[in-house]
Amino acid sequence: MSYGSYIYHWPSKYDAVYWPYTASAYTRFSPISGYIAFGSDFLDISDEEKKRVAAFLKKSYDKEKAPKSHEERLDWLAKVYQAREADDAFWLNYYCLRAYLSRGKPKQSKSFRQEAIKVAQRLARDAEPGFDKAKAIFVLGSYSHMLGQKEQAQKHFAELKALKWKVENPEEASTSEDVVAYFTKLADALKSDEYEEEYFKHVEMEEE
């Protein structure tokens, strides 16, 4: 179904993840074979990946113990994507998604944020200037802020504001200024703690 730019203003924006990834129905799973993937690339798999995933599923999948809950399926999805040898851009999205979905469980969410930070550090260092790099720097700032490292967060947000790149693809609607301005606006909301009410709205916090 169609959707609009409003999804970029939903609470998961502070984790730089967006619908439909946040919806459980977007995690597509075959209980017969054990194959699982996000809807966007369930079918988009290379022949080499198919070989690796098939070998992994044959060795590791037990359909009598198929994952049932959304959380269990995301755990299993990570193992399948490891077999696919997914890149850092995927893993940043994955750990940010897990951090967002577990935001009512502080200890668990913190663990996913820490994993996301490791990946974001590599992307911020190695990626060419572009959306992936901007997202990684924003996540570093956002998660540093959420983990109470306010001074470190400001350094990342300053680095984000200075980031520029040339858009080569004429089909790309967003310029570097658009992307940086969007993430900077979120950074400003974080700094003023505006995000907390909407971020945790309808979430029952668990003591851990």
pLDDT tens, 91-148? 999 999 999 999 999 999 999 999 999 999 999 999 999 999 999 999 999 999 999 9
Alpha-carbon distances of 101 from 1, 28, 70, rounded to whole Å: 23, 17, 10
- C-alpha torsion angle, residues 77, 101, 38, 2 (rounded to 10): 170
- Evaluate if residue 1 carries a pLDDT over 60: no
- How sure is the predictor about 205, in pLDDT bands with cuts at 50, 70 and 90? confident
- Grade residue 17 by pLDDT with cuts at 50, 70 and 90: very high
Please provide the average confidence, as pLDDT, over all residues in the chain: 93
Domain parsing of the chain, residue ranges: 11-199
Quick check: pTM over 0.85? yes
Q: Over the range 62-86, which residues count as b (16 or more CB within 10 Å of their CB) and which as e?
A: eeeebbeeeeebbebbebbbebbeb
Per-residue pLDDT tens for 59-103? 999 999 999 999 999 999 999 999 999 999 999 999 999 999 999
